[in-house]
Structure 1
């Protein structure tokens, strides 16, 4: 179960009421720095932009590949540990707007996590240390530390114990 806070809305759908939930100028500022970061080839500059202007928590030596899309409205709810890789064109969401409500949730990505290209990480998800997420995966629930997951719907491909056994066999 994802850890999100729910906020009910009346009248129109929640996305129509977006600027009642997040200031317009904040979204404009975030848009500018996210677009700069998405196309910046320097990982150090990208991490500095995201830490400084978006208030994202990004660990040392973490690499966000080209075109990674952090949440434009609530990037400060995203935390990525040290020495992790977020693959090309991955989207990390900390919000979801529905018809009768919107939901917000922190996204916690641990240390030494590998997220493949073209993944979508939904709000309120925790990805444990050392986990691997296969390309094109919809991360809709927590991922335990050390496991290898993939697919849509996401499922465990190898448990932590199976991953450790595979590493021993490869030596």
Structure 2
């Protein structure tokens, strides 16, 4: 189960109440910063923009590829560890507006994580250190450290033990070929 806080709304759907949940000028600022970062090829500049203007926690040497789309409403709820790669056109959400409620949740992405292109990460998710997320995955539940996951719906393809065993086999094969 994802770790989100739920807020009920009355009458109109929760997106109709957007500026009761987040200030208009915050959304405008965040939109401009995120759009600048999406198109810049300079990784240190992206991380600086995210840390400075969006109040995100971004680890050293983390790389956000082109076109990564961060949550415009609550980017401060996203944290990414060190030396992690976020693939092209990935979307990271910290909110979801539904008909009768909206939900907010922290997104914690560990260190040494690889997230493939076109992945969507939903609010309230933790991706453990050393995990690999296949391209095109809908991350709707936590990802265990060191595991390899993929698909829609997301499934664990290899757990940490299987990944470690396969890595040792690959090293052995490369050394003996």
* TM-score for both structures, normalised by structure 1: 1.00
- Which residue in the other structure is 1:76 paired with? 76
Structure 1 residues 49-87: Cα deviation after superposition (integer angstroms, max 9, x where no partner): 010000010000000000000100000000000000000
Distance 1:103 1:158 in 2: 30
Distance 1:38 1:50 in 2: 11
Cα deviation code 1:118-171 (max 9, x no counterpart): 000000000000000000000000000000000000001111001000110111
| Separation (CA, whole Å) in 2 of partners of 1:32 and 1:134 | 29
The residue aligned with 1:101 is 101
Give ranges in structure 1 of 5+ residues lacking alignment: none
1:39-118 aligned within 5 A: 39-118=39-118
Determine the C-alpha separation between the residues in 2 that align with 1:30 and 1:45. 15
Report deviation, 1:35.
Answer: 0.2
Question: Structure 2 matches for 1:4-19, cutoff 5 A?
Answer: 4-19=4-19
C-alpha separation between the residues in 1 aligned to 2:73 and 2:58?
17
1: CA distance between counterparts of 2:88 and 2:119? 8
Q: Structure 1 residue runs of 4+, over 4 Å off?
A: none
- Secondary structure of 1:6's match? strand
Figure out how many residues of one structure are paired with residues of the other and give that number: 171
Return the alpha-carbon distance in structure 2 between the equivalents of residues 166 and 39 of structure 1.
36
Task: Give 1:11 shift.
Answer: 1.1
Normalising by structure 2, report the TM-score: 0.96
1:21 maps to which residue?
Answer: 21
Aligned partner of 1:143 in structure 2 is: 143
Q: What is aligned with 1:130?
A: 130
Cα distance in 2 between the residues matched to 1:22 and 1:5: 15
